[in-house]
Structure 1
Amino acid sequence: MGSRWRKAKLSLGLNLCVYVPKTLDDYSPLPSDDSTARTPDSAVASPASAGASDIRALMPTTPTPASSGLRLSKSGSRSSKKTCAICLATMKPGHGHALFTAECSHVFHFHCIASNVKHGNHVCPVCRAKWKEIPFQGLPSSGSPHETRVNPGNWLQDDGHMHILRLLPRAGSSNRLHHVTPFFHNSEPSIFNDDEPLDNLTEAAEDSQQECMRTVEIKAYSEFSEIPQSASEENFTILIHLKAPLAKTLQTSNNNFHGNDGSRTSRAPIDLITVLDVSGSMSGTKLALLKKAMGFVIHNLGPSDRLSLIAFSSTARRLFPLRRMTESGRQDALQAVNSLTSNGGTNIADGLRKGAKVIEERKEKNPISSIILLSDGQDTYTIFPTAGVMHQAQPDHQSLVPSSIRGSSGHQVPVHVFGFGADHDSVLMHSISEASGGTFSFIEAEAAIQDAFALCIGGLLSVVVQQLHVEVECVHPGVHLGPIKSGSYVSRVADNKRSGSIAVGDLYADEERDFLVVVNVPPASEETPLLKIGCVYRDPVTNEAVRVEDLDVHISRPAFVGLPIMSIEVDRQKNRIQTAETMAEARAAAERGELSQAVSILEERRKLLSESLSGQSGDRLCLALDTELREMQERMANQQRYEASGRAFVLSGLSSHSWQRATTRGNSMDSGSLVQSYQTPSMVDMLQRSQTMSLATQRPNPQIRHAKSFPARPEPR
């Protein structure tokens, strides 16, 4: 019967997509040529376990890249007509779902492919063929030359929209469609106030109060434990150490942390806006890996979390409004991700503006808000201002960050930036992250994009402290404050130098912060009180202010002191800060083209590290710092390598140290030891899930594996 309708269609000269009822036996295998067999791995591989099944069911449908390209075995093509390449569910006529057969012969559920059309995607998700006809909603107006409704044989229809087609105009055609309503509207609203209402957080807040009774922990370490009575110190260093509480949520089952439907979590929900580069350079494997990474992010957001998707190339477009990640929300988000296609230039500024617009105009707000920005190229649409005619000033990269989300606005929304590959503008990306209070990660290896996202959201999904403000006050009348070493965190010292403060902001569960405060110590005949340290912050779940009990810092004043012993904790943090300053100095030399001097600067710091107290004791942080400095030296071996990866590697390291937060940098396994210095338990847990998921999706299925193509490995003895 099917062949007869095809012949009738050809004889009538109709270029239509017609649904022909078939039995399962009528489905013939597709040709094995790669051009028609590029269906997703997950569409043909049945999972080896229930866990793997859940993972594959939630992943976007872009093929998983392999070393030889995005290909599948021949067995995959035989199943492509029985499985929808978008939702991965079985397609059977008469099972309550309309089917859509495209011009390229690939078949999909009608509601699945209609979601692609919603986002302006007119190419086949399987073979990438451009379509001339797409599904449309609504009854066509009579007499329109661009729309046809076909129902041969008066078949019983299980979906009223099944045969509604739109014939896309030819290139250069001025014909317009005036009488057809699309299945999904491609235009975005002028005001982004269509965000989905928040979930009821009352129970979560109550659980948080019961489960997490700890507060931020404050400790202080003096550079030396005692100073002689008659001595005075002008640059005496005190280390302030903060540690956020570890919420019990992180120790519960995966469902509770992921926040799947029906579960509750005591962590603060997030409004996450992803701003993704889909320019022409993101085609192929890059886009496939980006979709896979976004699938991981969507899978790990809970029903109280909300997600919005911004895609940018020559212009930016909001493809997905701010919606809760319930089961239906996840499916719609995955379909939006799957609709991404790459073309055009790179307009990072427009992408950021659109992301900030979502933040500004939403009707309701989750306690946590953040933006993730990823790009692999240079911004080709922004003209930076110049100062004078004789020379060009440094580009004002930070002006790309909308004022509404900058750190100085009082409503800071961190933009966590990911530079993808060797061609991105690392200076621009680093500046954007610094201006907004976010981090900059350098993804050198394409396959590391999911792990980089996992590290980031592992922290964002565990925020337990917001708007943390540290206050420092001198106690003894002869003590005055000097500089406060706080990295990128804003610190202030009063004019009378008797008090100071540090604006720390958000902390992830179990995250630590270290700040060095320099004071003068006058002569005294007895124990000298130096500082009073306190902090106040807001609980993001209960929205209540929490005041931590003040900590007093004293120093012993004996008449005589033998050989002074420096605190190893203070020495360790001095090494961290001095190393970061050295990195900045070496980078400045490298930007001047003086690579040999930059290498010498790094080498000198490595020598000082090895001679320090903590370096000689085998301190792990010092060893990690030395490893990073050595890798920077290697990436400054010549100008070509510095341009390709050295600059981005240094900037990502500076971002990590200045915020004391883990970032992804490069692809060296050795440099990962430094990243671990700032990782929190939630980050480690999320990173392990990402790696486990990658292994599960890459593992071949023994039920469809051919012995000739995939020989079985011998069992280890």
Structure 2
Amino acid sequence: MGSKWRKAKLALGLKLCVFVPRTLDESPPPSSSVDDLSERLSNAALLSPSNWDACSRLPMTPTPSSHGLRLSRSGSKSSKQTCSICLTKMKQGGGQAIFTAECSHSFHFHCIASNVKHGNQICPVCRAKWKEIPMQGPGLDPLPGRAAINPIGWHQNDALMTVVRRIPPPRRDLSRRHIVPLFQAPEPRVFDDDESLGHQPVLPDQSSSSNTVADTSSVRAVEIKTYPEVSAAARSNSYDNFTVLINLKATANITTQNLSINQTSLPQLSQAPRAPVDLVTVLDISGSMAGTKLALLKRAMGFVIQNLCSNDRLSVIAFSSTARRLFPLRRMSDTGRQQALQAVNALIANGGTNIAEGLKKGAKVMEDRKYKNPVASIILLSDGQDTYTVNSSGGNQPQPNYQLLLPWSINGGDNSGFQIPVHAFGFGTDHDASSMHSISETSGGTFSFIETEAVIQDAFAQCIGGLLSVVVQELQVGVECIHPSLCLGSLKAGSYPSRVTVDRHTGFIDVGDLYAEEERDFLVSVNVPAESSSNETSLLKVRCIYKDPLTKKMVTRESNDVRIERPEIVGQEEVSIEVDRQRNRLHAAEAMALARSTAEQGDLVGAASILENCRRLLSETMSAKSNDRLCLSLDAELKEMQERMASRHVYESSGRAYILSGLSSHSWQRATARGDSTDGSSLVQSYQTPSMAEMLNRSQAMLLGSPSTQRLIQPLWSFGSQPKPR
């Protein structure tokens, strides 16, 4: 076998990775040698956790020699003809398979097979539409209705082809409509072919009614706390901008486990009931993703797939010059996971970067789905600039208007007030941070900046750790003035939509989903009138209305009245540390936004000065003087942003993305991955929840347990993982 193998390699002269995955219900071929080969190919396609560490050693896609066939390339380089895809010379009869299309243009067979794999039936050179396209390889069925094209120069009778032809193809179960063949069928016009939902985990429900009820027995609830800036104010004085802090925290019966990197088995997430998720991942597989980036992206997607349960559904969109849905929304059962891993493992990087097309297709999957899980989200990842612009209004340099690409039900334009978030991940020095941030901001998602591609998996892990722990949906906060002379001044809610009624007695904030143990802080300013004789003044009442994703019931929670004492004389009283802390957070976020705007106008010195002034002001606050950890972390973050404005090159390559990720994190009060140079172990993570931290620890435990990745993986975050101080 070894001698035949060497002869096959020399005869073919191809740089080709052959993956022929085995389905769960297949039996191995009779020949022992074929069994060994098939097993190796199957293992490569599955990318099981035990094999993920092998991926990082490869300069290209994760196809280690122990798990698949990789043939060397030894074709002649003297030919004048050049493949328009890989831009290398080719010569017929020189050991390389060549495909000549009906438009007379020729390409390496393995290059054009990769190009048409995702449905591209247009010549890359002349843009002619082909009626016939090449197969991926011998023994695989062509597209329905398409003729199989035999590539010129393919050796049909050598030992290797004999072995490959004997490997059984994946068996198709005609009773199931969600099997993904290796060669994708044409996409339907409407993506309503999503797999039906499984048994939903629910809490005891006495009634199917969705009427609003008082929350007296729900395991999941929203805790409401309020903090006036001072507890007492002189009776004879009035105050125009008296601040009240509203703190909300989603509670849940979810417990976390202590994790150790040295654990031999990966820890399991708690088995408490949770809302199942519909997740669509939109992945950049353009030419710039080739090599280690694609290998690590595949491993990160493997981690995501392995951590979804059988009631969660996943669909994957891959985009380069065009976009392709690899498979419809499918439940991540054992079979679903295997097929998803096979589809992801087969991805090949080439072409341009059409973020707009990928985003439209991902949104269409969500828009057209027949069934809906309670939680839905889109994950978008790209490392490059969108090379296909979308019409935009105004501006000398029109940028893609991604809001126009999102259906109303996703961007909140249907007046529901809530939307399907797109969590955008940009990494490297060449991604379009402004556009990625715009996408996330428009949809209510977060923007993460991954400076080193090796932390893609950690970034995904933190994100899905939150998505898999949603306990509150469609949360709306209502603030009502109690005293008849009170008026609302402002609602400082970051990026959350807020509004105040005309009489300024009532205000509302649309919050949306909350993860388990996630918190939100909002500052409300009111005018406090003078009192003639009363010893106290009732200021506000806070009401929360939200949907429990398991019971589907609407729940109402109300706070106690916010009151302050009104003595005749008040001594010197310090401002509440909780209020001071949140003021610092808002001041820092405002400074970041102003510095970013100044930097975009070309004034880096002025931008750095804005950040420096903010640091100085923060240092003089009560929080800073008491060594408040949030204040310390804000100072470190502002300092990091200053350093990333050292020059135009530094700002363009990382400063802009770092600031935008920080703005996203603070405006939504949700954790994001950011850069690779801030030591998270010494700083407080204000927004990371226990579920997010647990999933992140799972990822790090797996990665750091592999010797091949210990030198590569440095998962450094914008903040640490300690609980938020109170």
TM-score (norm 2): 0.75
How many Å separate the matches in 1 of 2:350 and 2:613? 46
> Which of these residues, 297, 301, 304, is aligned with residue 290 of structure 1?
297
Tell me what 1:497 maps to: 504
Tell me what 1:578 maps to: 587
Alignment of 1:305-344 (within 5 A): 305-344=312-351
How many Å separate the matches in 1 of 2:240 and 2:69? 78
Q: 1:561 to 1:647 in 2, by over 3 A?
A: same
How many Å separate the matches in 2 of 1:149 and 1:212? 67
> Which of these residues, 400, 403, 427, is aligned with residue 398 of structure 1?
403
Query: How far is the alpha carbon of 1:185 from its aligned partner?
Result: 4.0
Tell me what 2:195 maps to: 196
- The worse-fitting range, judged by mean Cα deviation, of 425-434 and 546-555 is 546-555
Query: Number of matched residues?
Result: 611
Q: 1:277 to 1:203 in 2, by over 3 A?
A: same
State whether structure 2 residue 587 is matched by structure 1 residue 588: no
How many Å separate the matches in 2 of 1:55 and 1:229? 66
Q: CA RMSD in A?
A: 4.5
TM-score (norm 1): 0.76
> Which of these residues, 530, 540, 561, is aligned with residue 531 of structure 1?
540
Alignment of 1:637-676 (within 5 A): 637-670=646-679, 676=685
Which letter does structure 2 place at the counterpart of 1:270? V
Q: 1:583 to 1:368 in 2, by over 3 A?
A: same
Q: Deviations over 1:519-562 (max 9, x none)?
A: 00001122101111111110001111111133210110001011
Q: For the Cα contact (< 8 Å) 1:485–1:515, is it kept in 2?
A: yes
Alignment of 1:372-451 (within 5 A): 372-387=379-394, 391=396, 396-409=401-414, 410=416, 412-451=419-458
Q: For the Cα contact (< 8 Å) 2:367–2:407, is it kept in 1?
A: no
How many Å separate the matches in 2 of 1:193 and 1:151? 44
Tell me what 1:35 maps to: none
Tell me what 2:138 maps to: 134
Query: How far is the alpha carbon of 1:677 from its aligned partner?
Result: 1.5
Q: Deviations over 1:246-291 (max 9, x none)?
A: 33365699999659xxxx6501000000000001111101101100
Which letter does structure 2 place at the counterpart of 1:692? A
How many Å separate the matches in 2 of 1:515 and 1:700? 41
State whether structure 2 residue 50 is matched by structure 1 residue 56: yes
Query: How far is the alpha carbon of 1:187 from its aligned partner?
Result: 1.4
Which letter does structure 1 place at the counterpart of 2:281? T
Tell me what 1:217 maps to: 223
- Structure 2 counterpart SS, 1:133: coil
- Structure 1 counterpart SS, 2:513: strand
Q: Deviations over 1:501-520 (max 9, x none)?
A: 11111000000000000000
How many Å separate the matches in 2 of 1:398 and 1:144? 41
How many Å separate the matches in 1 of 2:67 and 2:239? 78
How many Å separate the matches in 1 of 2:182 and 2:408? 37
- Structure 2 counterpart SS, 1:134: coil
Tell me what 1:687 maps to: 696
- Structure 2 counterpart SS, 1:135: coil
How many Å separate the matches in 1 of 2:8 and 2:650? 62
How many Å separate the matches in 2 of 1:662 and 1:382? 30
How many Å separate the matches in 1 of 2:356 and 2:217? 42
Q: For the Cα contact (< 8 Å) 1:275–1:351, is it kept in 2?
A: yes
> Which of these residues, 467, 480, 492, is aligned with residue 487 of structure 2?
480
Query: How far is the alpha carbon of 1:202 from its aligned partner?
Result: 5.0
Query: How far is the alpha carbon of 1:136 from its aligned partner?
Result: 2.4
> Which of these residues, 620, 625, 641, is aligned with residue 629 of structure 2?
620
Query: How far is the alpha carbon of 1:42 from its aligned partner?
Result: 8.1
- Structure 1 counterpart SS, 2:563: strand
Which letter does structure 1 place at the counterpart of 2:596? R
- Structure 2 counterpart SS, 1:665: coil
Q: For the Cα contact (< 8 Å) 1:492–1:500, is it kept in 2?
A: yes
Q: For the Cα contact (< 8 Å) 1:289–1:447, is it kept in 2?
A: yes
Which letter does structure 1 place at the counterpart of 2:544? C
How many Å separate the matches in 2 of 1:71 and 1:321? 24
Alignment of 1:446-485 (within 5 A): 446-485=453-492
Query: How far is the alpha carbon of 1:408 from its aligned partner?
Result: 3.1
Tell me what 1:48 maps to: none
Q: Deviations over 1:156-176 (max 9, x none)?
A: 999998499xxxxxxxxxxxx
How many Å separate the matches in 1 of 2:149 and 2:421? 51
Tell me what 2:513 maps to: 506
Unaligned runs of 5+ in 2: 12-17, 21-27, 71-94, 98-112, 122-133, 171-180, 207-214, 260-264, 711-726
Query: How far is the alpha carbon of 1:382 from its aligned partner?
Result: 1.5
Q: Report the identity percentage.
A: 56
- Structure 2 counterpart SS, 1:661: coil
How many Å separate the matches in 2 of 1:559 and 1:217? 34
How many Å separate the matches in 2 of 1:695 and 1:422? 25
Q: 1:203 to 1:592 in 2, by over 3 A?
A: closer
